[in-house]
Each structure stands twice: as C-alpha cells, then as structure tokens.
Structure 1
Amino acid sequence: MVKVANDPSRTEGDLPAVGRSGEPEPEVSGISLRLIAGLAATAHGSVRAGSSRLDVTVDGTAPLRTALRDAVAGAHLGHRLVLADAASLAESGESGAPSEDGGSRMAGVVALLHSAEAAGLVVSGLDDAATAELVAAAEPVALPVIEIPLDRIAAFTTEVLSAILDHQTATLRRLEDADRALVQIVLAGGSLDDLCEQVVGFLDGAAMVTTTDGRVIARAGSARELAHAEGLDCFDRTGRLLTEAEPTGPRPDGPNANRAAVRIVAGHLDHGLLIAFCSQRRLTTDDVRLLERAATVAALAITKDSAVSAVESKYRAEFLRDALAGRAGTPVDAVAHARSLGWDIDRPLVVVVAETDEDDDRSTRDGEEVRFLQQRFARAWTHAVAVRDAASPVMGFSREVVALIGVPEGSDTDQVMRIVGEYVRVVRGDGGGGRRSFSAGVSRPIGSVAGLPQAYDEALSAVTVGRQMHGDGALTHVDGLGIYRLLALIPDGTDLRRFVHESLRELATDDSPEYAGLRQTLGILIDTNMNVAETARLLFFHYNTLRYRIGKLEKILGPFTTDPDLRLTLALALKIHQMRGI
C-alpha cells in the first residue's frame, strides 16, 4: 500500500477539524469524487463499482489500516478516500474486517467502510480474482471502488492531494475576498441590504436577513429568485421565516439543500439569521462557510446600527412621551418637531398600546434578557408599522410599545379595528420563533395633537381591561369596555373581590359544580330583562326547569326578580367576577 498521509507525525491520515457538534468537520470542503475518477482515467485506472455515487466530496485520504481501525471504533470517515493495496487487503482480517456471516474478507472490508460512510476506496496491485470479489461486494452498497495500476498509484495519489490542496486554497482565497468585500460594505456605511447584495454576488440566488423571530429586515436577489424563495414552505402566511423549524449550517442532499441559514451572533446575543436561497443548485459546505463570514459582518453592522439607533431612539422617545403627556408645546410646534423626526401626526390617528402578557416583574429571566425581549418586541412593531406607514410614530418603552396609527377621516370603530388588527396580525405572525403573547388596546380616533393625552389614557385602559375581560392576546377598543372601564378605575382589587363575594355569596366560588351553571342562568336572565321564556330558549331548558332554577337563585341571592336595585348589584358583581387579575 502507498503510505499517503501516513507519516509518523500524522498516523491517523488527514485529520479534519472538529465541528461544534463534536463530529469531524473539515475546515473547507474538498473535490468531487467524479473529478478524482477523471484523474484515475488519465492514470489508466477505472471505476469498478459505485459509479452512481461519484458526486460525493473528498477532502482527504486515509490508509486502509487506519480507516478500518476508525470504523471498528465507530468513527465517521466523513469525506475521506481510503487507499489500499493487495497487502493491506490481505491483512484486513486482523483488523476485524471479516463479514459477520463468515463471508469473504472483501465483503467485511466493504461493509465496514460503507457503515463508516467512506467517500470511496482506491485499490492497486490486486489480481483479477480479488478485484472481482471486491467489486461484487461493493456494488450492492454502491461503495465507489477505483482501481489504479500499481506503477501509477504514487503519481495518482500526488495528483489527488494536489487537487484537494488547490481546491482548498482557492476556497480560502474566496473566503478572504468575501471578507474584504463584506467588511468594506460596513466601513463604507452600507446597509444590510447592501450586504445581502454582496452575498448574492458570491452565491447567486437570493439572500435575506431576519430577526430571531423570522421577520425579514433585509433582502436581495432577482425578482424571480426572491419569488421562488418566498414561495417556499419555510415562510408562514405573514411572510415570517419559520426560524423555529429552520436548521442552521450545511444540509444533506434533499429538497431543502437549495437553501442554507446561519446565525448572526454578537457576543452572547442572537440577532437573527442570514439565509441564502438558490433555485438552480444545492448550497455546498463552502457556501455555508461564506455565509458564516457574512453573518459575522452582519453582526457588526447590526451592532453599529443598534448603537446609532439607541441615540436616535432616545430623542424620539422623549418627544413621544412629551406628546402623550401634553408637554410637546403647541400643536403647530409638535407637528413640526414630529416632521423633523420623519413622522406625520397632523392627520386622523388612533393610539395603540401593546404590552406583553408575561409579567416581567415576576419573571425568572434575568434583567438583561427581559430588556432584550422588550427591544425585540419593539422592533417587531417598528418593522410592521414602517412597512405599511413609515410616517406613523412607534416607540418601545420599558413596559409597552406605543404606536400612532393613521386612519381615514371619519373611520368608525369597525374600520379602525380592521386596520389595527392587520398590524397586530403581522407582529404576532403565526406564533413560534420565541415570540411572546401580547395584548393591545386602541383609542378613539383623534383629529389633533391636542387629543393625544386622552387617547393615550384610553388605549392604556383598553389594553389593561381588555386583558382582564378576554385574557392574554386580547385586542380591545376603548368603546368595547363598557362598564368594565369604570370598574377598572377602582384601584384596590380587594374591594372589588369583597363586593363580589358579598353580592353573589356562595355563587362567587366554584365550590360546587352547579355554581357556574347558576351564574350563567342569572347572567342571561339579567341580560334578557327577566324574560323567562327567552332565557329558557337560550339555555335549552324546559320552562318549568328554569322556574325551578330561579327559585333556587332567589333562595341564595334574594328577590332579584322583583327588586331592580338588587338586579343591578348582581349584574355588576357578575361583570367583576368575569374580570381577570383583580
């Protein structure tokens, strides 16, 4: 056997680097086995088996003894090409190579190499019988076997290693060129869209940058490639990339091999994904490594933009706080100041307040993570609003996001809720991606900046009371609060709870399974203005059954059927009982 890559300092052959998962992973990929088969042809060799698997990649070589020892130990040969001669094959029985069923040594060698996923086997110096035996064992498992004349094996091996080295050198040079080009974009003040354009220049196809929850914030590529990418099942109906189901790094051959994603990480913060698509070919390991270089540069650009944005946001937030508190000066001054910030508030607007449903004061998350999640929530709203109405102010505060959404003149409540509901739908997406549930409150439309303080109070009431009425994820207009809005003005929930228990008595609890049914009956009776027939119809009760339940309710609560003041008290108690978080 030719002792290629088997000198004393490297007895294990070509040792690949170790990847993040602990599995062997080469620094750069190698050359196609089909190219090696071409080199074999020039050396008067031939492919004797496994011609259907010549598109695998080879990034190194290993002698047979080392390969068998690794295979027996459960190691993964990865993309290595195994070199063997007649002597090493004859000695293979001592390496544990014979097949389990007691068959030939050749079958045992092939079985071990195949199980370890070797790229192929190069043999030389075998007689016709041994070659035929080896080919017969390799064909069923499609293990590529290349036979080289003994007098040509040294030159062939040198050519293979030279080709691998040339390819890896060219790949490293390509990565260095990409590094320089990408870094230059950031140094020149380029955007993430410019970075995506550069990635497309290297890889063709399309490229996108998304946030951690999948919102696309930058993209580049031809219209055809972008349309192809956006039509894939990795995007939901709102256009959000399903990051929770999208693996990162190199991908095996298959229907998803024409796209690849890498994480954009700066320090310990995950800023999202850089993902490339190519409709014409699969993306290789080299392409993924180029994406990883680009993701590093993207992290630099995002960090720089975040620092600039933080300064700008400070002044924007201060102005918006003043406007919501009525301290922004005259309406003319406020409109002019807003226009200098790129906002148009001289039009009909509604104030929308969005709050995450998780109580951050009682969260097990540390303070830095809470701040990061709140910033991500604010960015989601900023992006959703900017795409649809760039002149609408939107800012994230410590506990809420406030947006001033433009609405048509004379809009009614239903029209306003359809407009705001579309923003909420986009921010919420189809869930997943680490998104947190949130509720939102909407004010009445205002026609002047002077109405902002009142509209802000209305939106705050709507989001707080709406969550109490409907639970997490509520979207509530202030006009839909009704009596709940007055009840929410009572600061002490203890007083409300005491009122409920004093009014409903044992019906305020769920100590008995029938109490919930009795509360429902009472509520419908009050809603129908004590119309017994209509209540029986709504509850699908017989008239006499309902009369029996009314008698039972009056024994517990008193003569509410004849006492209007008691009915009002019970109606209020039922409303409070439905509120959450009091």
Structure 2
Amino acid sequence: MSIKVKDILGLKIFKDSELIAGENGVEKIVKSASLMEVPDIYPYLEAHNILLTTLFPIHQNENAQKELLPKLNKKEISAICIKPGRYVESIPEIMIEQAESLNLPLIRLGDNANLSTMANKILELSLDKHLSTLEFRNNIHEKLMDLFLKGKSLDFLVNSLAEMIKNPVILSDTDFKTISISKDLKDKNIEFIFPNNDRTIFNKKLKLQIDDHIIYKENLITHPIKAGNQCFGYLLTQKGYLDPENLQLAIEQASLLIASVFYKNNAVLEKEKNFQDAFIRNILQGKIKSQIEAIEKARAFGWELEFPQIMMIIKIFTEDEVKKKKYYEKILNNDQIEKVFNQSLSIYQDKIKTIYINDSLVVFINAIFDKRIQKNLKDVGEKIIDKIDVNSKVGVGISQVIKSIDRFPAAYKITEKNLDIARILEQNSFVMKYDEYEIFNLIDKISDFELLNSFLDKKLGKLIRHERESEMNLIETLRVLIDNNFNLKKSAKAMYLHYNTMRYRVEKLKDYGINIEDGYQLAEIVFAYNIHLWLKANDQLRL
C-alpha cells in the first residue's frame, strides 16, 4: 500500500503532534519530506511531499503566511507540519481556516519536535515502501514469467494472477465477452453494461455487474492485451487493498505475457489458416479432382465437408479499403455468420466454412437437407446483413446446389459475376439467388467479347454514347421500364416522376432507336441491356 498522511501520524516520533485542520485529506499519498529553510521554497517542492517548518523564513511577513497554504496546495503538497513557539507564538488562524477549506492536513508539532529527524523518518518509511514495492513487482514478474515459460494455459495464468493480487480477475475479448475468469468468479453471473450503446473501452459509464454487485469503471483497472497493433482483449480487476500502482503494474505485466500467449496461438492458427485458404482456393480453381481427398483434407481443418453443397458469397461495397478490412475481420473474428446459421437453421460450425477470398467472404454450407436450406437461405442472407451491421452496401449471393467437387469452380464464378451485376441493379443491400439472373449465365457462355460488344453497339450504342454527355439518365429510365414490364405509370412512380415526364423520356428513347411498342425489337433491347450489365461487371465494355 502507498504511504498516506494518516500513516505518518501513526509514527512514534509524531506521538506529541496534533492534526488541527484538513482532516479530510489524511488519505493523501506521501512520497517524501522537505524542510522550509527559505521563503521562496515553491520551485523546489514536488508533489506528494510533507513540508516541515517553524515558519522562521516568513515569521515577520504576514502576506507570505496568508499565501503559503494556497501555494502549497497548487504544488500538490500532501500536508504541512508547523512547530510553533520559537518564531511564531501560535499557528495563524488564517492558516487553520485555509487548511480546512483546502482539505490540506495541518499538523501542529510538539515543543520537543526535531524537524530533521522527523523528515528522515518519513524518508525511511518511503524508502522501505519503495523497496517493498520493488520486491512485490519483481516477485510478480518472476512468478508470471515462470508460468509463461512452462507453457501454462490462459485459465492457469488468470487464476495465478488472481491469487497473487488477492483479487478476482476477468479476461475478455475486445467485445467484452469473457474468455477466462478466476476461480472465485465461477458460478457467478458476469455482465458488462454499456450505457448509451457505446460498446467500447472508451465508454466512461461502463459498468461490470457480478450477480447483484455493480462495479463502476472508475473502480476497475482495465488493461488491453496488445501485441504490436493488434488488440486481443482486456484484463480486468477491481481496485482492491493493494497499492493502485502495484495492482496496475501486476495487471500490465500479466497483460504482456497473456498477449504473448495470444500471439503464439494466433501464429499457429494463422499458419493453419494459410493452409486452409490455399486448399479452398484449389477447390474453387478446380485443382482438386478427388472428392474423397477433399473431404479428408477438410476434416483436418475442422470442416465436415459433405455433398451437396451451397455457396454464399458476401461482399461489402465500399471504396474505403481500411474500413472494409476491419468489417471483414470483425465478421470473421466474432463468428457472426456461423451464429446466424446456427440460430436460423440449427447448422453448427463444423457444417459450414467461412473464408476471406478475392475481396469477399465465401461461405460453404452442407446442404444434405437441401430443400429446407434452399427455401430459407434468402431469409438467412437478410439476417446476415442485419447482423454484420456495417455502414455500407452489402450484397449476398447464393449459388445453385453443388453436387460434386468439380462443380465448385463454375458455381463460384457464376455467383460472383451475378453479385457484381446485382450491385449495379440494386440501390441498397440485397440478397440474390443464382436463378434470379439466369440470363447472365447464358451470356457467360458466349466467350466472344467482340461479338457481345458489337451486338450491344447496334442496339444501345447511340444511347450509351449520349449518356456520357447528358444528365437525363435515359439508361436508368430504361432499367426502371424493364423492371416494371414497360408500364409507364408504375415506372413514373418508381422514379418519382410525373407521368407526362415519363412519356417524354420514352419519346426520347425512340430517338436512340428504342421503340417499346415493337415486341421483337423490345426483346432484343432487353437482351442488349443485360449484355451491357454483364460486360460492365466483367470490365469488358468497349463502347
């Protein structure tokens, strides 16, 4: 524990002394002692000092006496000890009043008090405390390091720390979900409370509730578990009987070692993840031909790969690459997708596999009960969009049923391309199934981009070129007309336009070769528009 003013008053050498004012400040910490030998002592004073004086340097200066205590308080002096009798008959009443109002302990020393001896006793006590602190810190360091070198688990480290500091300890992740707790918290209900919906360490009103007992943030010591720029979580304990500095240091040292455990475990997991990602890339590229081989390798990564399968591709559409990366990391680290599948379809984690690949998340889903899963996957996709809760447009693409290992590459390619096309078509976050854009699967079979661009040029070339110079946005008008089966009234409503304005735009479309009253020509226009979307999504538009 830190030395406090009340501890100084308990020293034998202070037995004839009396605390005459500032009793509310006896909990102030004391680190040293000084004698007042000159009037202008302030530059030489440090915080948490006790000043001992006879007031000789200012005994004939009434103004200096009035200014003494306020100035000492500004220097964060812990207490002042005055020996009256020789130079001042009694302690001035103004000082007593000031000490009381400032909560600055004012101690009247006895007639036989030796100021130098008293100062030395305070310094000795402070030195003993310092040596005791060093011994405590060294002991904590050695014990924790020994446990770390022996490869003890996180639970063991947390329990050992709790025993050393005689205080309960909680290890949480960055979302304040408990990873490990000390034995004295077992069978207790632990909950973090976040007022104002701010679920971060910076929430000043953060509270920890253990059963019916609530601990406010100011009574918690919370330290991040960090390695480099990566934060793995937090180590928490309640402020207790130990000196706060010692307690803080013990938590800091434990945090460093626990961070090392996390880092080591993560390095192993990262290596496994690299092997897993390479394996899945090989599947999607068609490099693995044997279904039995794929199933066996998948088991090594805790994945029960079974057929038929369905893939779900999740893309976050934002130009901010840093923000996008953080979104994906949060989704993966918190198993958000797996939780939605478990809650919605009772599919457990070993039955699905989620990886990051090609700037998107790909989810592989065991579809043994494929009818049930197919029926509900769009609903699951909507729930995933709600769950991940990002401030960007999100697209979820659902593949066709994949019945064998060799069908993965084609299914992945089609779903990814359709997702890019849906991004152009949809204004907000969306979920799309493979069969909603079958026309694009047909276009995909045409490998001659020159032929596709040529057809597009004949049917929509004039309109596309006009759009680059006009603000009327007739291509968007064409899209809305297609969506509404060329019903002008519905299309006008969808675009928040007056009906006559829509009629005017339809007449303008005729100027560019688009006549919606000719059925055969209309079919070609719709087909050309879909080719336009497909070429744009594949960066093959040449007009």
**TM-score normalised according to structure 1 size:** 0.69
For 1:216 and 1:285, how far apart are their aligned partners in 2? 26
The aligned residue for residue 319 of structure 1 is 279
Question: Aligned to 1:81, which of 24, 38, 49?
Answer: 49
Question: Aligned to 1:220, which of 157, 172, 181?
Answer: 181
Q: 1:551 to 1:575 in 2, by over 3 A?
A: same
For 1:146 and 1:491, how far apart are their aligned partners in 2? 97
Q: Does 1:346 align with 2:320?
A: no
In the TM superposition, 1:488-567 aligns within 5 A as: 502-505=461-464, 508-509=467-468, 511-512=470-471, 515-516=472-473, 521-538=477-494, 543-544=499-500, 546-555=502-511, 558-562=514-518, 564-566=520-522
Q: Which runs of 5+ in 1 are unaligned?
A: 1-28, 72-76, 94-102, 248-253
1:122-177 Cα deviation digits (max 9, x unpaired): 33347464342212122223233333336344554444334433333333333223
Q: Does 1:204 align with 2:167?
A: yes
Q: 1:310 to 1:270 in 2, by over 3 A?
A: closer
Confirm or deny: 8 A CA contact 1:259 1:282 kept in the other structure: no
The 3-state SS of whatever aligns with 2:218 is coil
Confirm or deny: 8 A CA contact 1:442 1:458 kept in the other structure: no
| Structure 1 letter corresponding to 2:137 | L
| Structure 2 letter corresponding to 1:111 | P
The aligned residue for residue 242 of structure 1 is 200
Q: 1:47 to 1:507 in 2, by over 3 A?
A: farther
The aligned residue for residue 345 of structure 2 is none
Question: Aligned to 1:134, which of 80, 83, 95?
Answer: 95
The aligned residue for residue 263 of structure 2 is 303
Q: 1:455 to 1:198 in 2, by over 3 A?
A: farther
| Structure 1 letter corresponding to 2:108 | E
Backbone CA RMSD of aligned residues: 4.9
For 1:146 and 1:560, how far apart are their aligned partners in 2? 99
> Displacement of 1:83 after TM fit?
1.0
Q: Does 1:146 align with 2:121?
A: no
Confirm or deny: 8 A CA contact 1:260 1:283 kept in the other structure: no
Q: Which segment is superposed worse, 186-195 or 467-476?
A: 467-476
For 2:152 and 2:448, how far apart are their aligned partners in 1? 51
Q: Which runs of 5+ in 2 are unaligned?
A: 206-214, 343-347
The aligned residue for residue 134 of structure 2 is 172
Confirm or deny: 8 A CA contact 1:461 1:485 kept in the other structure: no
For 1:501 and 1:61, how far apart are their aligned partners in 2? 90
Confirm or deny: 8 A CA contact 1:335 1:449 kept in the other structure: no
Confirm or deny: 8 A CA contact 1:30 1:60 kept in the other structure: no
| Structure 1 letter corresponding to 2:30 | V
Q: 1:538 to 1:269 in 2, by over 3 A?
A: closer
The aligned residue for residue 64 of structure 2 is 105
For 1:393 and 1:92, how far apart are their aligned partners in 2? 85
Confirm or deny: 8 A CA contact 1:36 1:160 kept in the other structure: yes
| Structure 2 letter corresponding to 1:242 | T
For 1:397 and 1:205, how far apart are their aligned partners in 2? 42
Q: Does 1:122 align with 2:81?
A: yes
Q: Does 1:416 align with 2:388?
A: no
| Structure 2 letter corresponding to 1:381 | L
Q: 1:320 to 1:255 in 2, by over 3 A?
A: same
For 1:206 and 1:473, how far apart are their aligned partners in 2? 42
For 2:126 and 2:366, how far apart are their aligned partners in 1? 61
> Displacement of 1:276 after TM fit?
0.6
1:330-383 Cα deviation digits (max 9, x unpaired): 4334323322432212366543445676779xx8x9xxxx9xx96995585155
For 1:67 and 1:273, how far apart are their aligned partners in 2? 47
Compare CA radii of gyration and give the structure with the larger one. 2
Q: Does 1:90 align with 2:90?
A: no
The 3-state SS of whatever aligns with 1:196 is helix
For 1:185 and 1:575, how far apart are their aligned partners in 2? 65
Q: 1:321 to 1:525 in 2, by over 3 A?
A: closer
> Displacement of 1:416 after TM fit?
2.5
Q: 1:316 to 1:83 in 2, by over 3 A?
A: same
**Pairs aligned (count):** 508
Confirm or deny: 8 A CA contact 1:407 1:416 kept in the other structure: no
1:415-454 Cα deviation digits (max 9, x unpaired): 325545666666x4678xxxx9986654345466565444
The 3-state SS of whatever aligns with 1:404 is strand
Confirm or deny: 8 A CA contact 1:536 1:542 kept in the other structure: yes
| Structure 1 letter corresponding to 2:42 | L
